[in-house]
Amino acid sequence: MRIGVVGAGKIGKLRVQTVKEHAASRLAAVFDVSAEAAAAAVRGTDARAFTKLEEFLSVPMDAVIVSTPPHLHEEAAVGALSRGCHVLCEKPLSNTVEGGRRIVEAALANKRVLAVGFNLRYYPFVKFVRAAVDAGKIGKIDHVRIYGGHNGLHNFSGDWQYKMPESGGGAMMDIGIHMTDLARYFLGEITQVSGVMSEKVYNLPGSEDNAIAVFSNPDGVPASYQTTWTEWKGYRSFVEVYGDRGMVRGSYAPMMNMLITNKGPNGAIDRKFELYPEIIVREKLKSWQSTCLISFREELRDFRVMVYGNVNVPLADGYDGLRSLEVAQAVRQSTAEAKLVKLPVLGRMPKVAS
């Protein structure tokens, strides 16, 4: 598979590395507004470096990975899809719901795979929760609790990361978009949203620093959701799924899991803990990016599986990307109008013939 990469910043460099390492993939081209970044990304390969999108898109390619800031995703993703390429786009799919919808429409019209980089699905703490739920260990899901936060602006290396016109919003579009996706990953769908967001700490117009909401699936199963840029302890996230026979929790960072199962109201309780000392040590030595890189390798593997016609993989698709944007917008609407916002069932994107 000939793969092009758009954006060779922190994340784009990792995406390029996964393509270079993959035996059945070949880096075809890299596009970045910075000639140095593009040139550095293609070094050691016969791929070409570009600083103009049109020239990049004229290279014969099978797929494109988009890893520029969110307000630039649409032009690159729609351009690649309409030239017949499959696309793996970084989260958030776009800075606006409308932009996300246009990207999805381009994928449908051109019958191409559109995947979205919700890579937390591939982190071991989330895989553990998924496996416990799928194995029926906690019984029928009763509710979900999701949290993701960090200490805000100190974490950002570029202005686009917190300025609404580029990012599309604040905490809900940053770490919160991963948590929205995980809420839907466990609920199956999100069709009702009510919540409150605020921007009283950093006072950045349109960039909420906190949002607290309740999402529900079509059966009325709820998820409580909180995302924040005022988690003064630093990066923290967790997902907890409660069932009628127990609960399972995954948290990061540090990464750990807990599974509690019971055999009925008066039955014995089993507790299982999973710690990840090798990940904790690796991240101390090689940073969080080393865990991110492993998840990107798995996303690339499953992206290829989707391109070859099997959508039964954890990789998020365009509808996952779009619904997470719609949910963030619904929290804003719910805040402004003090009401419950309803969304139709969206599901998974149709399979693309291989």
Ligand X SMILES: NC(=O)c1ccc[n+]([C@@H]2O[C@H](COP(=O)([O-])OP(=O)(O)OC[C@H]3O[C@@H](n4cnc5c(N)ncnc54)[C@H](O)[C@@H]3O)[C@@H](O)[C@H]2O)c1
- Site residues (vs ligand X, CB under 6 A): 7-12, 32-34, 37, 67-70, 72, 90-91, 117, 119, 158, 292
Name 267's bridge partners. Answer: none
Position closest to ligand X via CB:
9
With H, G, I as helix, E, B as strand and everything else as coil, classify residue 77.
helix
Taking the complex as a whole, how short is the minimal distance between the CB of residue 312 and ligand X, in angstroms? 22
Long-range pairs, 309-314, Cβ under 8 A, ≥24: 309/351, 309/352, 309/353, 309/354, 310/351, 311/348, 311/349, 311/351, 314/121, 314/122, 314/130
Nearer to ligand X, 6 or 141 (CB): 6
Taking the complex as a whole, how short is the minimal distance between the CB of residue 261 and ligand X, in angstroms? 31
Nearer to ligand X, 62 or 166 (CB): 166
| Integer Cα distance of 37 and 169 in angstroms | 27
| Integer Cα distance of 252 and 250 in angstroms | 7
Nearer to ligand X, 13 or 86 (CB): 13
Taking the complex as a whole, how short is the minimal distance between the CB of residue 47 and ligand X, in angstroms? 16
| Integer Cα distance of 203 and 347 in angstroms | 36
Taking the complex as a whole, how short is the minimal distance between the CB of residue 167 and ligand X, in angstroms? 8
Taking the complex as a whole, how short is the minimal distance between the CB of residue 37 and ligand X, in angstroms? 4
Nearer to ligand X, 235 or 242 (CB): 235
Element (H, E) at 290: helix 289-307
Taking the complex as a whole, how short is the minimal distance between the CB of residue 29 and ligand X, in angstroms? 13
Q: Are strands 246-252 and 210-216 parallel, antiparallel or unpaired?
A: unpaired
CA neighbor of 336 nearest in space, from 206, 174, 214: 206
Nearer to ligand X, 222 or 254 (CB): 254
List the end-to-end C-alpha distance of the chain, in Å, as a whole number: 13
Nearer to ligand X, 151 or 192 (CB): 151
